[in-house]
Structure 1
Amino acid sequence: MSIWTWQSSKQQPEKSFLTCALLPCPHGFFTKQFYPQAPVDLAKLISSDANVYQVKQVHSADVLLPSEIELAIAAGLPHLSDGTVAPFPLADGIVTEKPNQMAWACSADCTPALIGDVKTGQVAAVHAGWRGTAQKILPNAIACLQAQGSQLQHLRVALGPAIDGSVYQVGRNVAIEVGKSVAPNLSDQALIEHLMAIDQPPLLDDQGEGKLRLDVRRINQMQLVEIGIEPEWIAIAPHCTYQEPDRFFSYRRTKEKKVQWAGIVST
């Protein structure tokens, strides 16, 4: 029996969002059918009165607490490279501090990761693209939860719909940069050979010159196991954003800047 289930809500019964039985808190991985609804609207499908938090994602390894988000907004939001003011503080992860706080991340091929603590009820939502993964954004989020009292054995992680490694073509330099996050002491060629030879390899060969296929979710899983989270407490969604156009946006497939959201509420 799969731990991944499609759920519908009373408010929008014609649409379904994905849930993972590992996570102890209300949550959802939403699809393109909910576009262009934002977290403030989607939140009502998960929790009627939670406080909603989101950030302006910039492919970093930065994780913020709700109190830090509030302080950043009060201090004045930064300008983006195009000269406009960012709509939210710049970061790629949110870790809650109190009950009834809802953290959101969005994606369109990158990995949306939701984390829940079965004891404290605190949660995190993380956007893990290849750049954030190379910088270990998920271990950063875990460290932030630990700083608030979480223990590794109580954490559950769901890696949501993202582009599958079998179809994600990247340059050799990208594969090496991401691969170094789990095997930093190997030479470039030894690293590639190692990651292609292990069980459930995160790197696959590609016919393009200087290209490889990269499984970003598998790299994130390896990072989490390396810091002490048991493999059975990490779930990878059996869905590929690139190969399922009826359900998901994929920037790699269409080059459109449209996203699907993933959110989780602390208890």
Structure 2
Amino acid sequence: MSRRGGVSHGAVAGLNCGFGAGDDPVAVAENRRLAANAVLPGAALIGLHQVHSADVVTVRDAWGDDARPHADAMVTDRPGVLLGILTADCAPVLLADAEAGVVGAAHAGWRGAQGGVVANTVAAMVALGARLDHIAAAVGPCIGQASYEVGTDMRAAFAERDAAFFREGEPGRWWFDLAGYVARAIVDSGVRAPEVAGRDTYAEPALFYSYRRATHLGEPTYGRQLSLVGLR
């Protein structure tokens, strides 16, 4: 989802769905309710305390916002459960095997993506009965390569096979293609090529929240988009 709609005001005006943005908790709860009802009315919205890991949780029962596990992906085969991933530049990944009735959602920043969060999510779905050739995947809006300048330390953390996702800029600087890197991780996991939104959260302030943009502008906080997938 984008930031359009919602009841938040100020720096996070719109559909801010992150409690960690310093927003009015009542407004955040209402935004989350609006978002969930737009996708799967009446479903239990499940979230995580995201920590840029490769850890995946299998959801069998709903938990409250105060009991969120520390992880960056979820899978479930339970109808009426809506998996929600928060992002503000990182890539949300949504996966579904409609035939098996298994869905997954992952928060993929570069650390999590490099650490295997996508492959781990797919493996957890397969453990619930999903088939690789039946899984559809999508990579949602995230920071675009034209907005994602990185330094030597980050470039050095990647292997030579990843060179295609870095465009060289000024000396010691590169531009990183996060969406492309995550899309390849999906294919490497055995799933067919995903749909990629191709929207740059940094470059579209009217539509998306962005951690990096807020930091560059010296803003006091930033909102979070919510990406959702569930089973009826």
Q: TM-score, normalised by structure 1?
A: 0.71
Gaps in structure 2 of 5+ consecutive residues: 7-11, 18-27, 216-220
Number of the residue aligned with 2:203: 243
Structure 2 Cα separation of the partners of residues 115 and 151 of structure 1: 12
Cα deviation per residue 1:202-225 (whole Å; 9 max; x = unaligned)? 111111x42211111111111222
Cα distance, 1:69 vs structure 2: 6.9
SS in 1 for 2:187: helix
Contact 1:115 / 1:155 at 8 angstroms: preserved in 2? yes
Number of the residue aligned with 2:188: 226
Number of the residue aligned with 2:45: 52
The 1:58/1:66 distance shift into structure 2, 3 A limit, reads: same
**1:264 aligned to 2:224?**
no
SS in 1 for 2:228: strand
Q: Which amino acid aligns with 1:221?
A: A
Cα deviation per residue 1:9-28 (whole Å; 9 max; x = unaligned)? xxxxx849xxxxxxxxxxxx
Contact 1:205 / 1:213 at 8 angstroms: preserved in 2? yes
**1:35 aligned to 2:16?**
yes
**1:203 aligned to 2:163?**
no
Cα distance, 1:240 vs structure 2: 0.4
SS in 1 for 2:145: coil
Alignment map for 1:1-267 (pairs within 5 Å):
15=5, 33-36=14-17, 37-38=28-29, 39-67=32-60, 70=63, 88-177=68-157, 179-180=158-159, 191=160, 195-196=162-163, 201-207=164-170, 209-231=171-193, 234-255=194-215, 256-267=221-232
Gaps in structure 1 of 5+ consecutive residues: 1-5, 8-13, 17-30, 78-85, 181-190
Cα distance, 1:88 vs structure 2: 1.9
Contact 1:32 / 1:248 at 8 angstroms: preserved in 2? no
Cα deviation per residue 1:136-162 (whole Å; 9 max; x = unaligned)? 101110000011111111111110000
Structure with bigger gyration radius: 1
Structure 2 Cα separation of the partners of residues 163 and 138 of structure 1: 18
Structure 1 Cα separation of the partners of residues 13 and 90 of structure 2: 15
The 1:69/1:60 distance shift into structure 2, 3 A limit, reads: farther
Contact 2:62 / 2:81 at 8 angstroms: preserved in 1? no
Structure 2 Cα separation of the partners of residues 172 and 266 of structure 1: 43
Contact 1:166 / 1:204 at 8 angstroms: preserved in 2? no
Cα distance, 1:34 vs structure 2: 1.3
Structure 2 Cα separation of the partners of residues 227 and 65 of structure 1: 18
The 1:66/1:230 distance shift into structure 2, 3 A limit, reads: closer
Structure 1 Cα separation of the partners of residues 73 and 230 of structure 2: 14
Cα deviation per residue 1:51-94 (whole Å; 9 max; x = unaligned)? 22111111111111223775xx7xxx9xxxxxxxx652111111
SS in 1 for 2:60: helix
Q: Which amino acid aligns with 1:264?
A: V
How many pairs are equivalent? Answer: 209
SS in 2 for 1:34: coil
Structure 1 Cα separation of the partners of residues 155 and 224 of structure 2: 24
Identity level (%): 28
- Structure (1 or 2) with the greater helix fraction: 2
